[in-house]
A and B are shown apart, each in its own frame.
Chain A
Amino acid sequence: MAIIHEGLLGEMQYISKSFEQNHIKELFEKDDMLMQEMAFNLIYGNKGKIDELTKKALDEGYSANDVLDNGLISGMAIVGIKFRDNIIFVPEVLIAARAMKAGMVYIEPVLSASGVKPMGIVVMGTVKGDLHDIGKNLCIMMLRGAGFVVEDLGVDTKPDEFMDAALKHKAQVVGMSALLTTTMPNMGRTIEFFEENGIREEFKMIIGGAPVTQEFAEDMGADGYGKDAMECVDLVKEMVLVK
């Protein structure tokens, strides 16, 4: 099946790169009208509609996994592209995340009752000496929206606090945020602390924040870097997959 939902079809105009068009078409190829309608409503953050459609889909016997992947996450892929290309802005991403959460209310209990593990467990905090949390909170919202379990360590997180939380929650990914170049070195120190304690290889350690760059991430020995909250979700997915 191709994209049959008219609204969703209209969304294709916002996707300018042809390889991305193909990717999105592929995502929806196996989806029926209901899943496509969900994806469309997710893009526009229609919380009430997502609530209604998620319930409906589960009642009709769709698996929780299918609803998550085909109805919600595929819609979020379009949100990510539109955000990157300045077609939509921060508040619209937040609304989409809120709609996602409305769907997860139904999906999560089904997944955990059937023993399906969450997509991944992430511990995330702003590093020592840094009190900025707006960017980190956006990342956490988006990650939770995408089905990850995220333990929020707040701001001013010391290396041992990252380590204790990562071990306690059996995280796969440790996410560190900094808004100040003067606290950025504490990302490196946290990675070193994990090394000194012989547990560095047990976790993927990723970083982000306004002054952080890919070059810096490589310098620090981090496993990855995300430019914004949308990239953060892609990065965490990648990290969990390669593990």
Chain B
Amino acid sequence: MTSINENFVVIGENIHTSRIVLRDGKRHKTLENGAEAILYIDNDGNTRNIPVPDWFKKTQPYEQGQIKHFMIAVLEAINGNKNKQRECASFIQGEVLRQISAGADFLDLNVDEVSYKLDIQKESMRWLVNTVQETSTVPLSIDSSNSEIIAAGLSEIDSSQDNTLINSVALERLETFDLVEKYGTKTIITAAGESQMPKNDIERVENVLRLLEEAERRGVKEEDMFVDLLVFPISVDSSFGTDYLNAVKMLREEKGDAIKITGGLSNVSFGLPKRKIINETFIKLSLEAGVDSGIVDPVQTNLIKASSLDLDIEPHRFARNMLLGEDEFCMDYIKAYNQGQLVVK
């Protein structure tokens, strides 16, 4: 059974302040008065825009041709007046609808990159949670590497909402389990170790099994957890694809059908061209291995299409071989790219 079914849980990974649109891309527009803006469609179907503020034009991402639209919206909102806040909220809420329409079951919110100052991060998360839940029909996933930022987000969640997700608990920060208990949330648990990232498939599974024991001790139910087995980029090491896929198979075998297994599946294509082909192929391989959830952007990734791919056919065949560790240094894949063979027919 490799086709995607309705039980597959999409943790929509888009409302992140690290996200970019390109200055020479479709969503960027120079207005009549010379100002730059990012286009979006609001919830009434009107095309609107959010201006790129001057402070952002002094940053390095801007100079490199990138605009961090979510970062701009969040920072402009928390520093702006009511009108500004409404404008920024309208932009965010447009993205909320886009994500849900594309199939997101949760909306993952991450503001870590707005600043390295904790109070700004917390204030941003509070504003974002309130803005998103105002229109969202799906629960939120509160994502941060710092549990104080997660706590700030959770404190704003509507009390009627009992499906909120925390992203994430790991052996290196068990204290996040306290928040799971305090707020009665669900949680993602990751395969990171206490003092280092897992080196292979076995370490991934071992770390997760220890976390599951800790969860049991605390009375956190298995059905309330998603296991993130950690996807690393194949461009760096040709075993990174199979490390993840094998870990999925091992954990599935160990824990049966009940456990929910997820991962940031598009991480795998970092550092390579034609990422979409790699991502779709990896989704298909991950489904075959036994994942039943993904932390992905459903707008960018067509899960139904990915699940019905034939990986024996080019161009996905190149990506499959690479992801299965059969293409050292991704040479065949890159060669195919250079020869114009990575074209979806």
Contacts and interface: CB of A to CB of B under 8 A. Distances in A.
Interface of A: 45, 86, 88-92, 94-95, 131-134, 137-138, 154-156, 180-185, 210-211, 213-216, 227
Contacts of B31: none
A131 B331 contact: no
B146 A131 contact: no
A216 B236 contact: no
B145 A92 contact: no
Nearest to B193: A131
A184 B121 CA distance: 13
B301 interface: no
The size bracket of the interface on B is: 35 or more
Contacts of B113: 181, 211
Contact of A134 (B59, B112, B114, B236): B236
A131 B116 CA distance: 17
A52 B14 CA distance: 49
B116 A181 contact: yes
Nearest to A141: B236
Interface string B138-160: 00000011100100000000000
Interface string B60-76: 11001000000000000
Contact of A138 (B145, B236, B272): B236
Interface string B92-119: 0000000000000000000011111110
Contact of B61 (A90, A156, A213): A213
13 contacts: A89-B272, A91-B329, A92-B329, A132-B197, A133-B197, A138-B236, A154-B196, A180-B112, A180-B145, A181-B145, A185-B117, A210-B18, A213-B59
B296 interface: no
Q: 8 closest pairs, A vs B, by CB?
A: A90-B271, A182-B146, A90-B235, A91-B329, A181-B112, A91-B330, A184-B116, A180-B145
A94 B329 contact: yes
Contacts of B112: 180-182, 211
Contacts of A86: 273
Contacts of A182: 112, 116, 118, 121, 144-146, 149
Contacts of B162: none
Contact of B60 (A131, A132, A134, A214): A214
A182 B125 CA distance: 13
B233 interface: yes
Contacts of B61: 213
B233 A181 contact: no
Contact of B196 (A45, A155, A211, A216): A155
Given A182-B145, A182-B146, A89 B193 contact: no
User: Of B114, B118, B271, which is in contact with the most chain A CB atoms at under 10 Å from its CB?
Assistant: B271
A88 B113 CA distance: 28
Contacts of A216: 116
A183 B149 CA distance: 13
B65 to A, nearest CB: 12
B311 interface: no
